[in-house]
Every structure is written in structure tokens, then in C-alpha cells.
Structure 1
Amino acid sequence: MDKRIKKSKRAIEEALISLMAENDFIDITINSIAERADVNRGTIYLHYEDKFDLLEQCIEGKIQKLLNFCLPEGSGSYPSKSSLLRTFNYLEEHSFTFHILLTNKGVPTFRKKILNVMKAGMKEQLELNGINQNINKEILIQFLPSATISVIEWWIIESMPYSPEDITEQLWILLEQNHFVPK
């Protein structure tokens, strides 16, 4: 992708996030995004159908960057404590953005998308590794990702009351106790 296009898209997405820190998503207009990003409306429409498409692409991009940065190496491997720590460090480093995406009214899709990604990953883990054979897989796939996302969401919304190392340690213990990771 051309550097100018990347720069424009980054400015537009950053403008959207900064406006969402001040307003509910529903109240944000393409004009306000263009003004904040210092681009014209046409530039936005060149890359996005509307503000909903912009939000969707922004969320997809943030989730993809999070996954690329934090997932353990190799397909089919268990999540590792170090990958969990990388995740919390990444979330801490980008806490402003994740806080906005989790708390802005009108943006429940971010939480739902992360939850769906975690559910799919857990389903893959269960199928590949045959762990937790004695527990109903459907219930487990609902329970653990939901609990994990709730902990992450709480940690971000409450301004990270524990260090990434501390929250990683506590969450890892919970994952071990539920036999999702090898002891």
C-alpha cells in the first residue's frame, strides 16, 4: 500500500478514536472526522463507505494487530504465559484506544468481535489438543473466553489497577485451574 494512503488511513482512524473519546459514536459525523484528520470528505469516502465501515475497518485492524503481536508462535500450540504477558503489555501500551473501543456507547461490536475470535481459538485448541474431554465443549467455549474478556475489559476500564505481570499471573492461574493450559 502506498505510504500516502497508509498515512491518510491512519490519520482518519486516529481522528475517529479521538472523537470517540469526546462523543458517542452515533454523534460523530464524517465532516468532524475529516476536520480532525485534516483531510477532505472525499478522502474518507475513497477508503470507507461511511462512518460505520470506518469503525468496522478500524476495529478489524486493531484486533488483527493485537493478534499478530500477541499470539504464540506456531499453529495449534497452547497459549503461553509469555504470549499472555505480551497481550497485557500491548493492551497497556495502547490502553487509550482499547478503553475507547470498550466504553464508547454504540460500539459493542469491538467486545463481541474479540470474544468471537477467542471462542474460535479455543474451539481450535480443544479440537487439536483434546483437552478437557470431561467437560461439555459448548459450555466451555462460552465460559472461558467470556470470563477472560471480562477480566481484560475490567482491567482496562479500571485503569489497569495491576501491572501486566500481576494480571498475567492471576489470569494464568485461572486458566491452569480450568485445565485450559498445561501445568
Structure 2
Amino acid sequence: MDRRIEKSKQAIMDAFTKLMLEKDFEKITINEIAELANVNRGTIYSHYVDIFDLLNQCIENHLNKLFENCQPRGNDNNISGKDSLCKTFKYLEQNAFFYSKMLMSKSITAFRNRLHALMVKSIEEQIDMSGINKDVNKEIMVQYFASATIGVVEWWITNSMPYSAEFMAEQLLSLMERYQNVRST
């Protein structure tokens, strides 16, 4: 992609994100985004259909970065569940303003839905349905863990992250392991 196009798109995305941290999505205008990004309205419309398309691409961009940051890289396939969770919480901590706004905004259900879909995909790839899990419906189990995890993340972020990323990763992993112990008794 042309560097100028990439630079314009990044400026638009940054301006949009900055405005979302300052005000509700419904109150943001294309003119405000253009002014803050130092581009004209036409430039925005050349990259995005409308403000909803910009929102969707912004969400997609942030969730892709979250997913990329929290997955093993290259030869790092032996990353533990705790390490993966810890990386996830640290990334969320570093980008707390954006994720807080997205999770607390009642009008932006698209974010929560995409986060849930991403979580479901990740859990489906990692969940072991043998042993004590063989009698549990995989779809229900995946939905349970995805919803519970998102609920914990949402609580942590909206309550100003009262515990460290490491502590949250340990606690969430402990809860998942506890489920395994409860199921085996």
C-alpha cells in the first residue's frame, strides 16, 4: 500500500480513537475526525463508507492487535496458558483507555460481539474435549468459558484494573483449573 495512503488511514484512525475516548460515538462527526486528522472529508470517505465502517475497521484493528500480541510467535509454540493470559492482560492494561470505552459504551455492541467471537475461536482451538470433558457439549463449554472470561476482563477494566495483569492471569487460570477439579469429582 502507498505510504501516503497508509499514513492518512492511520491519522484518521488515531483521530477517531482519540475522539472516542473524549465523547460518545453518537456525538462524533466526520468533520471532527477530518479536522483532528488534518485531512479533508473526502479523504475519509475514500477509505471508509461512513462512520460505522470506520468504527468497524477500528474495532477490527484493535482486536487483531490484541490477538496478535497474545498468541505465540514463530517458534514460541510452547507458550503456557498462564503466559498467554498474562500477555493478554498486559496488552489490555496498556490499551485500557480504548478497551474501557468500548466495553462501557452501551451503543457499541459490535465490539463486545467481535471480542466474544475472537474469544470463542481461541478457546475452540485450545480446549481439550477428552478425559473429563468428553461428556460435555463442546459448543456449550466454549461459550461458557468465552462469556466468563469476557465478563472477568470487563469487570477488571471497568473497575480501573484493581489487580495486576499477572494476578488476573493467575486467578483466571486457577478458576479454569478449578472447574476441571470440580468436574472430576
Shorter-normalised TM range: 0.7 to 0.9
Identity %: 49
| 1:130 aligned residue | 129
Contact 2:129 2:138 in 1 (8 A): no
Residue identity matched to 1:114:
L
Distance in 2, matches of 1:152 and 1:85, equals 12
In structure 2, stretches of 5+ residues that fail to align are 181-185
State the shift of 1:9 in Å: 1.5
Query: 1:168 maps to which residue?
Result: 169
The separation in 2 between residues aligned to 1:7 and 1:173, in whole angstroms, is 43
Q: Which residue number corresponds to residue 18 of structure 1?
A: 18
Alignment partner, residue 2 of structure 1: 2
Gaps of 5+ in 1: none
TM-score, structure 2 length as denominator? 0.87
Q: How many Å separate the matches in 2 of 1:134 and 1:167?
A: 29
Kindly provide the amino acid, as one letter, of the partner of residue 147 in structure 2.
Answer: S
Q: How far 1:77 moved relative to its partner? A: 7.7
Per-residue deviation, 1:104: 2.5
**Residue pairs, 1:72-151, within 5 angstroms:** 72-73=72-73, 80-126=81-127, 129-131=128-130, 132-151=133-152
Give the letter aligned to residue 57 of structure 2: Q
Shift of 1:170: 0.4
One-letter code aligned to 1:110: F
SS in 1 for 2:39: coil
Other-structure match for 2:67:
67
Relative to structure 2, which stretch is displaced further, 3-12 or 81-90? Answer: 3-12
- Given that 1:118 and 1:145 are in contact with CA atoms closer than 8 Å, whether structure 2 keeps it comes out as yes
Give the helix-richer structure, 1 or 2: 2
**How large is the RMSD of aligned CA atoms in angstroms?**
2.2
More displaced, 152-161 or 76-85?
Answer: 76-85
Q: What letter is aligned with 1:148?
A: T
How far did residue 6 of structure 1 move? 2.3
Please identify, of 114-123 and 41-50, the stretch whose mean Cα deviation from structure 2 is larger. 114-123
| Distance of 1:62 and 1:47 partners within structure 2 | 17
The reply to whether residue 35 of structure 1 matches residue 35 of structure 2 is yes
The CA deviation at 1:134 is: 2.2
Q: Report if the CA contact (8 A) 2:34-2:40 is conserved.
A: yes
Whole-angstrom CA distance in 1 between matches of 2:106 and 2:19: 12
Question: What is the identity, as a one-letter code, of the residue corresponding to 2:93?
Answer: E
Contact 1:71-1:79 at 8 Å conserved across structures: no
Partner in structure 1 of residue 155 of structure 2? 154
Q: Does 1:56 align with 2:60?
A: no
Separation (CA, whole Å) in 1 of partners of 2:105 and 2:162? 21
Q: Which amino acid is the alignment partner of residue 23 of structure 1? A: K
Normalising by structure 1, what TM-score? 0.87
